[in-house]
Amino acid sequence: MQLSNKFEELVLTQLESFGCFMGVKHLVVYIASAKKGEKACFELVGQWPKNERSLQPIADDPELKVSSPNRRWYPIQDKDILIGVIRVETDFTRGEWPLILDSRLKALSISLSRSFSIEIERQKNDKEINYLRSQIGFIIHQLRNPLAALRTYAKLLMKRLSSDSYSLEIIESMLLEQKQINEYIGSFEKLNKTIPITYDVGEERLLLPPDINAKELITIKDILTPILERGKANAKLQNKNWHQSTEWPDWSVREIKSEYRLIAEIVANLLENACKYTEENAQIGIFLFNSGIIVFDDGKKISSEEGEKIFRKGYRGISSKNKDGTGVGLFLARKLAKKIGGDLYLLENSQDNQFNNKIKNLKNNNVFYLKLPIEQLHK
């Protein structure tokens, strides 16, 4: 096994920390090695003192074939698997080793055993990661081709259907979705490379959102429009009744920092759930208010007992037991909402005075309220 330089430095540090203790003259660490088609042997990993003469392999050293009162061997092993050995040379002549020295050397062997096990596991993980990266890189490369082809075909259709305004709207929506997928692939491609990971990173860093440009200014209307078009199209396809605000609040049309692009991801998640967990002819909708956004549906009512549980990671509500899903959508949505200074929760009383008459008839509906940091959005 090829050990990393850092690991070899770690072994030397452990040996040096032992020092010249109670007559110890020489410490040598060997690791078991078995190449294909060759006899297993022990390879030198490190020794103390470092300026010691160059040592022969164990099998070729005639001195090691004869027992000696001033030499002992300590196994480096993980359970029943022998990983290597520690060779200890002392200036003892009678073979009586102090108990404290024996205890220290056993502790050293245990420490090295665990270090070797971690190194072996690390190398195994590195190989798996490198393999997965190469496969993901290949898949990303292959995805680019059909995506480009879809865009080409869509543009050809636009030319052919130039007089059909309704069909053109659908094709334009397809092009927007193609662009969004392309951005996600670009984000995924970046994640597939070696990147510095900060300790406060969360699950949302995985794909949400793609390629944010910190200097870019956006408007909530611009980022929500394609999401609402997608929701409207899904509702029509599934024979569900779609409702949405006809007016955009002031805060939704002002230019703001691109970090608030997360709002589109949250809304997309809520609308996807509304379509997924409702039956045919259901009511689905989204309204924008001065204080935030609500997304509602008249699917199976979520009980007050489940009102908080559904935001737990991995929790699947009663209405979703027989549906596909992982139980992380609402967990991530709330986490993203709090990240931008807002919140997300299920309204138990949908006739709250902070909303107008548009939702007075939603008493029996599931109403999710995305509370936004309006003051910050107005800056």
Decide if 15 contacts 47 (C-beta within 8 A).
yes
Q: What is the CATH number of the domain that holds 359?
A: 3.30.565.10
What's the pLDDT score for residue 293? 93
- 248 with 364, same domain? yes
Q: Report the relative pairing of strands 366-371 and 292-297 from DSSP bridges.
A: antiparallel
Whether residue 153 is contained in a domain is answered as: no
Backbone dihedral angles phi then psi of residue 185, each to the nearest 5 degrees: -65, -40
What's the pLDDT score for residue 7? 81
**Residue 230 Cα to chain centre, angstroms:** 26
Residue where the block lists tokens 């997309």:
268
What's the pLDDT score for residue 365? 81
The parent domain of residue 79 ranges over 5-126
What's the pLDDT score for residue 356? 52
Backbone dihedral angles phi then psi of residue 333, each to the nearest 5 degrees: -60, -45
Q: What is the mean pLDDT of residues 258-273?
A: 87
- 230 with 97, same domain? no
Crossing angle of helices 5-18 and 99-160, in 10° steps, is 160
Q: What DSSP element (H or E) covers 90?
A: strand 81-90
Decide if 317 contacts 297 (C-beta within 8 A).
no
- 226 with 107, same domain? no
What's the pLDDT score for residue 343? 94
Whether residue 335 is contained in a domain is answered as: yes
Q: Give one DSSP letter per residue of 201-265, joined into a string.
A: --GGGTTSSSS--TT-EE-HHHHHHHHHHHHHHHHHHTT-EEEE-SS--GGGSS-EEGGGGHHHH
Q: Report the relative pairing of strands 241-244 and 283-288 from DSSP bridges.
A: parallel
Domain boundary among 126, 158, 175: 126
- 226 with 345, same domain? yes
- The candidate with the shortest Cα–Cα distance to 233, out of 177, 159, 287, 179, is 177
Cβ-count burial 89-107 (b if 16+ within 10 Å, e if not): bbebeeeebeeebeeebee
- 331 with 231, same domain? yes
Burial of 331 (0-12, 13-18, 19+ CB in 10 A): middle
Whether residue 137 is contained in a domain is answered as: no
pLDDT band at 342 (very low <50, low <70, confident <90, very high): very high
Decide if 22 contacts 100 (C-beta within 8 A).
yes
Whether residue 141 is contained in a domain is answered as: no
Q: What is the mean pLDDT of residues 337-354?
A: 76
Whole-number average pLDDT of the chain: 78
Whether residue 193 is contained in a domain is answered as: no
Per-residue pLDDT at 295 exceeds 90: yes
What three-state secondary structure class fits 302? coil
Domain boundary among 126, 144, 174: 126
What three-state secondary structure class fits 172? helix
Per-residue pLDDT at 172 exceeds 80: yes
Domain boundary among 103, 126, 149: 126
Distance CA 295, CA 242 (A): 11
Decide if 248 contacts 221 (C-beta within 8 A).
yes
Whether residue 196 is contained in a domain is answered as: no
- The candidate with the shortest Cα–Cα distance to 224, out of 186, 262, 187, is 262
Q: Report the relative pairing of strands 41-48 and 24-33 from DSSP bridges.
A: antiparallel
Which amino acid appears at position 215 of this protein? K
Whether residue 183 is contained in a domain is answered as: no
- How many separate domains does the chain show? 2
Helices (H), 63-212: 99-160, 165-191
- 231 with 345, same domain? yes
Distance CA 229, CA 29 (A): 66
The model carries a pTM of 0.56
Per-residue pLDDT at 33 exceeds 80: no
Residue 18's alpha-carbon distances to 15, 47, 113, 366, in angstroms, are: 5, 11, 16, 66
Which amino acid appears at position 248 of this protein? W
Q: What is the pLDDT of residues 152-162, one digit of tens each?
A: 878 888 888 87
| Structure tokens that stand for 110 in this block | 């245990």
Q: What is the CATH number of the domain that holds 36?
A: 3.30.450.40
- 225 with 107, same domain? no
Whether residue 201 is contained in a domain is answered as: no
- 231 with 88, same domain? no
